[in-house]
Structure 1
């Protein structure tokens, strides 16, 4: 287990600061809350991240702010000044060590930092002190994904993704000083973090492909995918809510940048898309800007226009349970899906009703809760993963390993939730290292009856980070994991039941339907 017992104060000299970290008793040094970019406040709000300012000697012994999200209040530990990175390294690692680097991109639907401040010391220790672990914060909600012509002309689009790229460039420039190999970086994300990995894979920028050697996508998140021209209504709604409507776009943006965080947060809330009744679950998302995101991501994957690197791509059985309503009727299912994908047609809705009829009950939930859970989970998280896996297979690309997490948990079973979104993170990093009150917290069962699955997950992931394959350093209890490219099969993960399984034809049929829907926000 990770220890907080300190031994000495290690130092790392970067070009802009010297950071003083902490040496732990498990042979790991940690450096917390280091700036990787300037504070994105004032005139830097809604602009691409700027380099950090020159500093002197700075303590890096506590986590710093994470980024304020949609609907949140400014509070200690959360705010706009949030572009910080955390690094865990073996104590004896030097610039000559050239260790593999694991960069974790947290999720939160692009609207929150949902998994900040994970502790990476245990995975470094468990690896035999053979890796470097990195995690960080990036802008979300209106600060990370505000769009519109005025924003583009007086700032930048997709700044949350630009923060991630700035971090990956920071890794290239600095990780060797921690003992890491900038040529062996694995980017790993969960949910929107996994969606971000997918977006970096399809980014056309020549330099992007040199920033990482492999990727891990847990529950890849592909929601509505608007083009930048489709969000003028969102821009004007936000401007009006903050009382900044003016005679010019420049004047409006100056006004918006002048509003303090608390005032801005009053308007950083979801509202219905045009022609929709209810607000979507995720309001601010990356936009197709012709730069970082040149076209609809799943289409780019299907055309083979993506960076080919080894991948792990997988899902939990019940991805939708945290996001869907207590649907009582078939029409409730359709209404929710329409609110989140407003370009669904009448024919689409007929197919949804056919594919997701009344299912076996999941007490204490409403009758159509299992139907809407599966519809949303497959449309937004499970089927995008299968589409990407098929694209990799069809392109004869590097190997990709897939999994289906179906762990039984007493607590979630009592809620009728099955194996929900994000469940595996507590096992991957260790259950003591992922507890964020009010955000992601590790399932209790990883401390007790599901504890044997912790080394299964952790060792597969560490092996992939070290070798770009999950197999060489897998745990003794874990079977060999065969890549999707060979057999279109996944690793089923259950307690005392790990084996490869084929994906059924009905799953492929439903996913083919979801791959064909229009994820834009244009008028019907």
Structure 2
């Protein structure tokens, strides 16, 4: 016992004096990581940043974890958070899911103060869609000069249900802030600089970035210092009161509504008595009031008057956000993976859009249809409106919000603002009709061999798109390191000019491998101008 104590003390002493060793003491636990001589990185997987959100902490804001004595092995990923619509038998997820992973260069020391990349995964706030992304390839691309943090946060009802009374709203966003606070407290012990944290995120992760910048009226708590956002999503953002039907319906499905079960003092107490399997069996989306079918993603952040004080368009129009340098962009065909392929009529197209954005009015849908005429000559064949509704949905939810935030950043004096369009075509995706689909560039940014699978085959070594990987990694790691994508960009890649409202220029990533600046085309500008105008009225 005494010998073990001496070894632990010696190991901790070495980590404090000579650099980051495998064994690191955080503010609440000692973790043993694992290094890789092959790529010169060390990783600590499955470290707890908040207490298990179970029992009385179910549907509560994240709390500090209980500290554990002794060394804990940090060799494997932990289960990620429960998803809406997922099987109750899914063994890869758990309610106890608030863990994070840290990746660092093996040669980093506690005095290295390396820039930190804090990546927020997507999933429409209804799933953890990028679990267990490996940060090692990105560290290699940075010449071993950054630290990468990935983490899980609660989604679906576990992260975004509220009753306007006992349940605090926006717990999933609070999980993100809790993880950022963990970084501020602990990351220096892994070689990172808490004064240089760059947010990253894709889809709902990028939406999270936009909301974290605007949190608490845009107050700057020093949690981050730059951001790189892939496909910022502006979904329907209800108020706490408007979202009450979601809580009422969920409790009713579980037999916990008022009058259904007299064994509990409240519906919340009843919900907390249910097993995860019981909750998951009833965890599915329902239509917004007045809609004909459920949206793709029902559980979303809500305007609570505190963390979120207005819908996203209004927050940025008012300048209520932290002003930091940002990379923002989207894919050419961001809507194709979401819209029904059998959309065969204009009415079906309108119905899909209205189900996602229930505050759309008939005259607004009519204008959208004029802005997106159907060029498919095969109508009325099955699916002939698929690309029409895909184009409208992709621009409305992803492309135009990103361009809008870029303009608002510049308008508010942020000079470090860059925008891009990703147009690298994978042959298999093109053949499937997807074009260049939603957040496909994440596979290139983290490297196609990032441990999660799913990367297009053309991005792998020897593939026709393999050349794009070092190019985009060069821009991203340069931005993470210096808050400028140009300083350390890949040799031969184009200079990325900042976004200006007058020039409206963005970087174009192309299949041929040639990066170049382009001006946003007239049709996209006209369409986005309309979506920006109606955005607040439809609660985006």
TM-score higher than 0.5: yes
Match of residue 162 from structure 1: 174
Give the secondary structure class of the aligned counterpart of 1:484. Answer: coil
Query: Equivalent of 1:177, from 161, 164, 189?
Result: 189
How do residues 487-506 of structure 1 correspond to structure 2 at under 5 angstroms?
A: 487-494=503-510, 495-506=512-523
- Confirm or deny: 8 A CA contact 1:334 1:352 kept in the other structure: no
Q: How many residues align?
A: 508
CA deviation after TM superposition for structure 1 residue 521, in Å: 7.7
Alignment of 1:261-340 (within 5 A): 261-326=276-341, 327-340=343-356
What pairs with 1:114-133 in structure 2 (closer than 5 Å)? 114-133=129-148
Q: Which of 359, 365, 369 is residue 386 of structure 2 equivalent to?
A: 369
Question: Where do residues 43-54 of structure 1 align in structure 2 (5 Å cutoff)?
Answer: 43-54=56-67
Distance 1:42 1:511 in 2: 45
Separation (CA, whole Å) in 2 of partners of 1:338 and 1:274: 11
Match status 1:63 vs 2:77: yes
Deviation at 1:9, TM superposition (A): 7.4
Select which of 495, 514, 533 maps to 1:480: 495
Pick aligned residue for 2:212 from 184, 194, 200: 200
- Does 2:52 match 1:39? yes
Alignment partner, residue 234 of structure 2:
222
Displacement after TM superposition at 1:360 (Å): 4.2
Q: Runs of 5+ in structure 2 lacking a partner?
A: 1-19
- Give 1:233 deviation, angstroms: 1.3
Counterpart in 2 of 1:417?
A: 434
Compared CA separation, residues 10 and 256, structure 1 to 2 (3 A): same
The offset of 1:359, in angstroms, is 2.1
For residue 240 of structure 1, the aligned residue among 249, 252, 255 is 252
Tell me how far apart the structure 2 counterparts of residues 361 and 118 of structure 1 sit (CA, whole Å): 42
TM-aligned CA deviation for residue 203 of structure 1: 1.1
Q: Determine the C-alpha separation between the residues in 1 that align with 2:407 and 2:218.
A: 24
* Range with bigger deviation, 491-500 or 205-214: 205-214
The CA deviation at 1:352 is 1.4
Q: 1:283 to 1:370 in 2, by over 3 A?
A: same
Residue ranges of structure 1 left out of the alignment (5+ in a row): 1-7
Mapped contact 1:226–1:520 kept (Cα < 8 A): no
Kept in 1: contact 2:217–2:309 (CA 8 A): no
TM-score, scaled relative to structure 2: 0.91
* Alpha-carbon offset, residue 156 of structure 1: 1.0
Distance verdict in 2 for CA 1:384–1:276, change over 3 Å: same
Q: Which of 361, 366, 381 lines up with 1:345 in the alignment?
A: 361
Q: Is the 8 A contact 2:217 2:320 kept in 1?
A: no
Residue 4 of structure 1 corresponds to none
When structure 1 is superposed on structure 2, of 359-368 and 129-138 the one drifting more is 359-368
Taking a change above 3 Å as real, the CA distance of residues 365 and 68 of structure 1, as seen in their structure-2 partners, is farther
Distance in 1 (alpha carbons) for counterparts of 2:98 and 2:377: 44
Structure 1 residue 122, shift from structure 2 partner: 1.5
Distance 1:396 1:183 in 2: 21
Structure 1 residue matching 2:31: 3-state secondary structure: strand
Residue pair 1:189, 1:217 contacting (<8 A) in 2 also: yes
| 1-structure distance, mates of 2:200, 2:237 | 22
How far apart, in 2, do the equivalents of 1:183 and 1:59 lie?
28
Report the alpha carbon displacement of residue 93 of structure 1 after superposing the two structures with TM: 1.4
1:94 paired residue number: 109
Deviations 1:97-151 (A, max 9, x none): 11000000000000000001011011112212111000000000110111232xx
**2:456 matched residue in structure 1:** 443
- Give the TM-score normalised by the residue count of structure 1: 0.94
Q: Once the 2 structures are TM-superposed, how far is the Cα of residue 520 of structure 1 from its aligned partner?
A: 7.0
Q: Distance in 1 between matches of 2:347 and 2:521?
A: 27
- CA RMSD for the aligned pairs? 1.9
Measure, in 2, the Cα distance between the counterparts of 1:387 and 1:170.
31
Go from structure 1 to structure 2 and tell me whether the alpha carbon gap of 1:205 and 1:354 turns closer, same or farther (over 3 Å shift). closer
Query: In the alignment, what sits opposite 2:10?
Result: none
Instruction: Find the residue that maps to 2:517 and give its secondary structure.
Output: strand
